[in-house]
Structure 1
Amino acid sequence: MWLHQEIKNVADIARHHARTSPQHTALIDPAGRRSFADLERSSNGIASSLRAHGIAAGAHIGFLGKNSCRYFELLFGAAKAGCSIVPLNWRLAEAELRAVIIDAQCPVVFVDREFAELLDRVRASCVQAFQIVSFDSSSAAAGELEAWVLAGDGRDPHVPIHPDDTAILIYTSGTTGQPKGVQLTHGGLGYMRLCEHLEPALKQDASDVLLTAMPLFHLVGTGLSLQALYNGATVSLLPVMEPGALLKLLARDRPTICALVPTAIQMLLDHPDASRADFSSLRLVMYAGSPISSALLKRALLEMRCSFMQFYGATESSGALTLLRPEQHDVHNEARLRACGTPLPLIDIEVRDSEGRPLPDGQTGEFWVRAPSLFGGYWQQPEATAAVLQDGWYRSGDAGYRDHDGLYYIVDRVKDMIVTGGENVYSAEVEQALCRHPAVRQCAVIGLPDEKWGERVTAVIIARDGQQPRVEDIIAHCREYIAGYKVPKEVRFVGSMPMTATGKVLKRALREELLRQSAPQARAIVA
């Protein structure tokens, strides 16, 4: 549905459904259920308390925790106070988390008790002071949050919200390894709902239950959940993707829609309890992060007996850009399954060359995107913003082509991004960590095909003369500086690498060379 009169900003989602369907279940997590009336009441309390604690409109409110109802209470509460939520990636290393909090200038961070000690260490070594308010997502009791909220009067402050105001600040790592805060605006997120309203494959209503297993610090988790709540549907939150727990939620909450990466679909079907699971409530599985193989799709269709739909998008676009719709999932057409689909309504995608000139169908270039849902720029990074936003178009950094049927295909990452298990990993960030090891003279990080993860992060290292570092030491070293999913799953030691005349590693040639080799010289697999 398109509630353009009733819902003009993110905060209005809670307000509208609290008026029209107050007792309908909005959210479910391990601690219990929240109706839309509950969500309205708790978010009002948070909004009024933010104001009472002197936190002005425009501030960035940090959230550090796994998927839970608390996140949405804080998201809507922050929006009502004219602030924006910053969902922090709990998988980051301490140094990475500190960098994000400093960059976002969060005056307060709400933290689940599971990560309270980590946040205490971050604050102790942080040049910027910020308040910490803890909560317990496993309990209906709010903990410190309950006392903190008492400072306010519990009423919605109704702070004026402009469409260009930031609602959510989501951090992604750039190719330089520096964090970039993507400013998602109320207007952009609202236009995304219109795009979805015009797309029949994305129709939802109050009878639907979305199972959110994707982390909320990614736009996929937050964005799809907001789409469901906008339409008055229920969101069932899985704290972290674990196949056994997901199967239990299927039985308990009977979701109609679920979003997963192909790796998670594989893990789910491989679980010992999958053969006894009841998938009958599901009508649609959405997946992203990488294409699905015909073998996995055939198995999933047979065992889950529902429709499948792939979507491709970017944090900077506030959501999906293309869909490979259920009717386009032909298990007998492997080539089509590699497509990322066709654009949603109101979204234009052009394939352009390095000079920004449009290319004909069949030729590979960079995806340029024009959409009413584009982000408001990178927080305090005008040069980075100007590099990707040009004349109303967003340069995605993804390389691909369009075929003669209008289907789009991604063939590479212009920015050397690796997609592993649905997580985005930038090679430069991993290379920076590797280069801090005293035995590493030169390194390059690439993604190699992997049946389980889609791509595995592979480090190629030239050791310093006289040094023979152990794979285990390299892995342990990386874990000190980067999140676990960014740590190389494979390490290879070489004597030389293909180089350009200007001294840069030819990664495409390096990738082809490694794929031709029958066995690596050294390998470490990280869970």
Structure 2
Amino acid sequence: MWLYSEIRTLGDIPRHYSRITPAAPALIGADGPVSWSQLDIRSNQIANVVAAADVVPGARVALLGKNSTRYFEILFGVNKIGVALLPLNWRLALPELVAILQDASPDLFFADREYADVAEKAIASSGLRCRVIGYDSTRPGRSALDELMSAASSDDQVVDVNPWHTAILMYTSGTTGKPKGVQLSHQSYLYLRLCEHLEPSFSYTSEDVMLTVMPLFHAMGVGLSLQALYNGAAVAVYSMPDPGKLLALIQHDRPTLLPLIPTVIQMMLDHPDAATADLSSVRVVVYAGSPIGLSPLKRALQAMTCDFIQFYGATETCAGVTFLRPDQHRRGIKLESCGSPLPLVELKVADSDGNEVPDGQVGEFLLRSPSLTTGYHNQPDFTAHAFRDGWYHTGDAGYRDADGFFYIVDRVKDMIITGGENVYSTEVEQALQQISGVQLCAAIGLPDAKWGERVVAVVVPEPNAVLVAEQLIAQCRELIAGYKVPKEIVFVSSLPITASGKVMKSVLRDEIIAQTSR
């Protein structure tokens, strides 16, 4: 569905559906449903709270909290007055949060009660003058934000928002270790809806319910939720539960759309309750975020009597831009691929000079899409490099087959994907290098049956230094997010180095795999 006249910015989504289906559920949370009318009114109140705090169009408002219906009330509220939402990853360590805040310079900060202290510390450490407004997702109606909303007008300010302005500023780690603020505009999200509208296999309707447990600070979590809401579908939003509780949520809320990362699909099907759980409401499982093996995928296809869709995308593309479609899953064809592009999306495989390579030959994925980011916040040089020659250079290596299907075989950027989370090796290495006694180090991803990949640090100690793996891991935990912390430390006397001084990580990976398999 392409609502090009009715929805021109993200704030128009609750406006539109509050007019045509005001009583229908827009969101479902632990406290029950939120109707489209309620979502429209609450987002208006938040817009007026933000405006009263002297936050002007073009500014940014930070949010730190786990998944809840309040996230979307805040998202649509700030977007209605032309302010961008800065969703922060609550798993990050304090220094990482501070780096993002210093780069983004938000004018206001919404923090869930669980993270109120972290928010205050991050603001203080960043040197910013930024007011923190608390809310409590577990006890609605009893927070500073609730009081401000009650006192605020519920009228819509009807601000003329430029669709090309940033709606969400989403940070993703860079290969240099410096966080990158990906500017996602209203128009980028809405153009992606056009691509989906032209895709024959896409069939979301207002009768659907999407269960969102993927973190909303990720492109996948918020992107797929906006995809559903744009089409009038309700979104049941919760923080990621354990596999048993996830099965219970599916049975309780009866979702028809279920986006998950492959690791979670496997963990859910491994749970003892999976054999008797009623999953009959689910008509489509959408999976992405990390590779899935052919055997686990076939098992999931047999265990769940529903359609499956795989997509490939990036934060820079708002969400998925290639699809492995339901009929292709049903026929069992190309299951190891990430599908083929959506209409209006161009994807090619190129060599280091940007020249397209023949089918079957590995190169870098280069992408053109109407949904692409407008660039990286405060990083014009990096933006120019990543989007040179009219193409987005994804950093993902793979190939296209003769039938036009694409396959990812590696990552040019040395990124490790563990449990659906992106970890750049540079981030881990920079943390280790801050620790006394570490002479050289390299972070690699090794295959892991549960997480897809696990982060492994290979460390060369300084002469006479006594290093203990457990202590290094504990020190890393103080510097970087828990999911980035190495699962294990391997001590070696030297690293394989090229003539130019770079660590040969593919060689190192093979050496460590051979060493651990003895």
TM class by smaller structure: over 0.9
* Other-structure match for 1:523: none
Shift of 1:151: 5.6
Shift of 1:458: 1.1
* Other-structure match for 2:425: 427
Which residue identity lines up with residue 261 of structure 2 in the other structure? Answer: V
The 5 Å alignment of 1:15-414 reads: 15-150=15-150, 152-329=152-329, 336-414=334-412
In 1, the alpha carbon distance for the partners of 2:101 and 2:148 equals: 21
- Runs of 4+ in structure 1 displaced over 4 angstroms? 330-333
Which residue identity lines up with residue 23 of structure 2 in the other structure? Answer: Q
* Other-structure match for 1:457: 455
Which residue identity lines up with residue 77 of structure 1 in the other structure? Answer: G
Q: 1:403–1:343: structure 2 CA closer, same or farther, 3 Å change rule?
A: same
2:514 is the counterpart of 1:516: yes
* Other-structure match for 1:487: 485
Q: Deviations over 1:9-54 (max 9, x none)?
A: 1111110000000000000111221000000000001112211221
Q: Deviations over 1:73-123 (max 9, x none)?
A: 000000111101111100000111111122111111111101112112222
In 2, the alpha carbon distance for the partners of 1:241 and 1:102 equals: 32
Q: 1:142–1:324: structure 2 CA closer, same or farther, 3 Å change rule?
A: farther
Q: Deviations over 1:369-396 (max 9, x none)?
A: 0111110100111011111112331111
Q: 1:331–1:115: structure 2 CA closer, same or farther, 3 Å change rule?
A: farther
8 Å CA contact 1:205–1:232 kept in 2: the answer is: yes
8 Å CA contact 1:31–1:137 kept in 2: the answer is: no
Q: Equivalent residue of 1:517, what SS?
A: helix
Which residue identity lines up with residue 389 of structure 1 in the other structure? Answer: F
In 1, the alpha carbon distance for the partners of 2:259 and 2:420 equals: 11
In 1, the alpha carbon distance for the partners of 2:56 and 2:204 equals: 35
Q: Equivalent residue of 2:201, what SS?
A: helix
8 Å CA contact 1:66–1:90 kept in 2: the answer is: yes
In 2, the alpha carbon distance for the partners of 1:96 and 1:337 equals: 37
For normalisation by structure 1, the TM-score amounts to 0.96
8 Å CA contact 2:423–2:484 kept in 1: the answer is: yes
In 2, the alpha carbon distance for the partners of 1:253 and 1:455 equals: 32
Shift of 1:326: 2.2
Shift of 1:304: 1.9
In 1, the alpha carbon distance for the partners of 2:227 and 2:331 equals: 29
Task: Point out the more displaced range, 43-52 or 15-24.
Answer: 43-52
Shift of 1:308: 1.5
In 1, the alpha carbon distance for the partners of 2:301 and 2:498 equals: 46
Task: Point out the more displaced range, 143-152 or 422-431.
Answer: 143-152
2:3 is the counterpart of 1:8: no
Task: Point out the more displaced range, 483-492 or 194-203.
Answer: 194-203
Q: Equivalent residue of 1:201, what SS?
A: coil
What value does the CA root-mean-square deviation take over the aligned residues? Answer: 1.4
Q: Equivalent residue of 1:67, what SS?
A: coil
Q: 1:13–1:464: structure 2 CA closer, same or farther, 3 Å change rule?
A: same
In 2, the alpha carbon distance for the partners of 1:485 and 1:113 equals: 23
* Other-structure match for 1:524: none
8 Å CA contact 2:81–2:161 kept in 1: the answer is: no
8 Å CA contact 1:263–1:454 kept in 2: the answer is: yes
For normalisation by structure 2, the TM-score amounts to 0.97
In 2, the alpha carbon distance for the partners of 1:496 and 1:53 equals: 56
Q: Deviations over 1:126-175 (max 9, x none)?
A: 21111111111112315110222356422111111112110000000101
In 2, the alpha carbon distance for the partners of 1:105 and 1:124 equals: 13
In 2, the alpha carbon distance for the partners of 1:249 and 1:24 equals: 20
In 2, the alpha carbon distance for the partners of 1:484 and 1:16 equals: 40
Q: 1:193–1:453: structure 2 CA closer, same or farther, 3 Å change rule?
A: same
In 1, the alpha carbon distance for the partners of 2:302 and 2:352 equals: 43
In 1, the alpha carbon distance for the partners of 2:158 and 2:311 equals: 35
Shift of 1:450: 1.0
Shift of 1:488: 0.7
In 2, the alpha carbon distance for the partners of 1:187 and 1:473 equals: 48
8 Å CA contact 1:14–1:36 kept in 2: the answer is: yes
Which residue identity lines up with residue 454 of structure 2 in the other structure? Answer: R
Shift of 1:280: 0.3
Shift of 1:331: 8.7
